[in-house]
Structure 1
Amino acid sequence: MREVIEAVAQWTMRGETFALATVVSTSKSAPRPAGAAMAVSTAGEAVGSVSGGCVEGAVYQIAQDVIEGGTPVLQRFGYSDDDAVAVGLTCGGIIDVFVERVTDESYPDIRTVIQDVQVGNPVATATVVEHDQAEMLGKRLVVWPTHASGTLGSAMLDHAVADDAEGCLPPANPK
């Protein structure tokens, strides 16, 4: 998120819709780690990288489709995947990329998360990236050291994820 934060902040401040592609899982010799991000604006500007250039073109197209249609997409790219080979992921690794449309409505805490990331305050975001019920995709829980906002669709799951995330976050910066 840090590598795309400035562009995302500008788009958000202008009230623009954009797509956020995030590497959510990797295996073998993946080109970028989980958490690597690429953002694409409605105007077509792209920032960040999910694969160091290997699959950015394909992810860019998925991002454009997600901006237009709104439905999040989880896409796997790997060496044995004909599409991945066609777009250049020949490193032998596998990456799963989640692409979602971001608006103030779909991510109500986006402005606070951006501000916290920019000033170095601890914050974590958990997002449902795979589920057999389409309406669950993209549900999100934002966690700070002292509280959480949003839902993953279940109070028990929210509590468990918030507890785990809070345990991984450093203490809040004193104001």
Structure 2
Amino acid sequence: MMLSLIEGNQKFNYRIAGILIHDGKVLLHREKDQNVWALPGGRGEMMEEAQETIVREMKEEIGLEVNVERLVWIGETFGTYKGVRFHELGLYFLLRCTSKSKLLNTPRFCGIEGDAVDLVFEWFPIDQLPHTFYPAFAREGMKQLPMTIEHCIEKED
């Protein structure tokens, strides 16, 4: 069971995301019909450790085997997405690929999420991240990842 609660026009998500950097570029994704970019990941499942979630999500969505290096950010984000007010609690982990994959050198590729939502994945130079990459604390913090865990709160409204 994915950890997400909906009450009226409000939604709470528990999201686990991965920071995968290769050759000075970071992997981002977006839904095919949207222009909002994010770090790849997804919602945690009941009784699943957060590190297991991001390993599973990367394998399910793009077939990539990763190891978790460390937790970088705990993020609380408040805003509106697709007309729904949301509160998201996110854990952002630094990842490392466990093997060579052609995806590491493929500038843009597609993946699948859950109910067949098409995802677009793209490698972006860390110093040229899109303005539509959220959350903003990650967009700024990506330039120099903190050495200790940071707690970030972002209100997008």
Fold-level similarity (TM above 0.5): no
**Whose helix fraction is larger, Structure 1's or Structure 2's?**
1
Larger radius of gyration: 1
Q: Larger relative CO (CA 8 A, sep 6+): 1 or 2?
A: 2
Give the TM interval when normalised to the shorter protein: 0.3 to 0.5
